[in-house]
Amino acid sequence: MYKLLIIIISIFASGSIFAQTDIKYLNVSLWNPVATVPYSYDNSVMLSLGLLQSKTNNIYGLSASALSGVTAGNMYGFQFGGLHSRIEGAAKGVTISGLYNIHHASMSGVDMSGLATLNVVNHHGVQLSGVQNICMFNTDGVQMGGLMNVTGQMLSGVQLSGGFNVSNVVHGVQLSGIVNFALQDCRGVQFSGFNYATSMRGMQIGVANFARRINGVQLGIVNYSADSSTLKLGLVSISPKTKIRPMIYYSNLATLNVGFRFMNRISYTILGLGTPYDAPQTTSSGMFFYRVGLYKQVGRFIFSTDAGASYISKFVESTETTALSAEGRVNVELAINKQLSVTCSGGCSLRKAFAGKRVKEAKPIVEFGIVLPNLLKSSR
């Protein structure tokens, strides 16, 4: 115990000697102001070690503390805080903490924390956290967060998260598990479950893609853009000029069918459900179908042809509980007025079961029904 006391007194005495010079080489502190170089607005330290807290004005080297690392001025080097790290001035280097990092000025380098990182101004480099990264202005580099990344102004680089990415302007890539938002302009790639951009130049890849203006490609199950000439690859493509019309019709495949037809300039897609399938042999069954085709309007008639597929399920125990069906149709539609139409179709279906005999079964298609009014007002 006596030797430990002599060592502590020696450290503090050496610190006081360094404090009398212009350069403070070493600071050892318990919690400011209990330190060999107590905090002041004009001190600069090369090495600061905090038993609980390290607080200095400027760091040119290394700052490490068990709980809290605080630099009131600039940091050039490395700062580590067991719980948190805070830098008030400019920072260049590496900051690491167990919970969160806060930079009140620009940061250039690597910013890592277990919970969150916050940059009040700009960040150049890498932000990495277990939960979220936030940069209030511009990010030039990479944001990687377990849940969320946010850039207040411009992202020039990559956002990668398990949940959400948000940026006002994106020049680069947004990759997330749930949703990407480019609130104004995006030039690059968005890849997520749901993608949104006010103005997009590049590619959106996701379950659902939304862009008011786009010069590029949308690849997803549902694609929306105000520009009807955009290349959309997916099950459903929508623009303000898309006519979304419900359909109700009888078929010899499934007795009652209800679907939605998404009609664009020369093409359309149909999504819907039908039940029961193959009546009256099977009463407890149904099918989900998807159709894509081309059409030509001549006066009050619409002539179209499409190809489709159906997933068939029988809800009772059977040797054949599920099957797939590939289908082709030729359709004729007559407009009664601007709101209602009648339609009839003919074609062929080729069904194959997943279990049982596993044989292919060909069957003709006969259908007729009505087409209901457009759910959206068409742009003029």
Query: What's the token pair of residue 164?
Result: 């959400």
What distance in Å separates the CA atoms of residue 137 and residue 154, rounded to the nearest whole number? 7
Cβ pair 234, 222 in contact under 8 A: yes
Query: What's the token pair of residue 124?
Result: 């150049």
| pTM (predicted TM-score) | 0.78
The class level of CATH for 243-371 reads: mainly beta
Please give the pLDDT value at position 146: 96
Please give the pLDDT value at position 163: 95
Cβ pair 329, 343 in contact under 8 A: no
- Buried (b) or exposed (e) across 109-126, using 16+ Cβ within 10 A? bbbbbbbbbbbbebbbbb
Contacts of 55 (CB under 8 A, 6+ apart): 29, 32, 35, 39, 68, 70, 71, 72
Query: What's the token pair of residue 341?
Result: 């139409």
What distance in Å separates the CA atoms of residue 212 and residue 216, rounded to the nearest whole number? 12
Q: What is the sign, positive or negative, of the torsion defined by CA atoms of 220, 223, 225, 227? A: positive
Any bridge partners for residue 260, and if so which?
246, 271
Nearest partner of 202 among 169, 177, 234, 176, judged by Cα: 169
10 Å CB burial of residue 289 (0-12, 13-18, 19+) is buried
Query: Distances from the Cα of 168 to the Cαs of 102, 137, 150, 181, in angstroms?
Result: 21, 9, 9, 8
| Backbone φ, ψ for residue 228 (5° rounding) | -70, -15
Mean pLDDT split into 10-residue runs, the chain, 380 residues? 44 43 77 87 89 92 94 95 95 96 96 96 96 96 97 97 96 97 96 95 95 91 81 84 93 93 91 86 82 94 95 72 91 94 96 72 94 74
What distance in Å separates the CA atoms of residue 377 and residue 380, rounded to the nearest whole number? 9
Q: Which amino acid is at 147?
A: L
Contacts of 127 (CB under 8 A, 6+ apart): 111, 117, 119, 133, 135, 139, 141, 142, 143, 144, 145, 149
| Triad 222, 228, 231: Cα angle to 5° | 65
| Backbone φ, ψ for residue 5 (5° rounding) | -65, -40
10 Å CB burial of residue 358 (0-12, 13-18, 19+) is exposed
Nearest partner of 49 among 5, 83, 11, 21, judged by Cα: 11
Query: What does DSSP assign to residue 358?
Result: -
Nearest partner of 108 among 64, 71, 156, 75, judged by Cα: 75
Query: What does DSSP assign to residue 13?
Result: H
State whether residue 277 is helix, strand or coil.
strand
Nearest partner of 201 among 220, 188, 212, 211, judged by Cα: 188
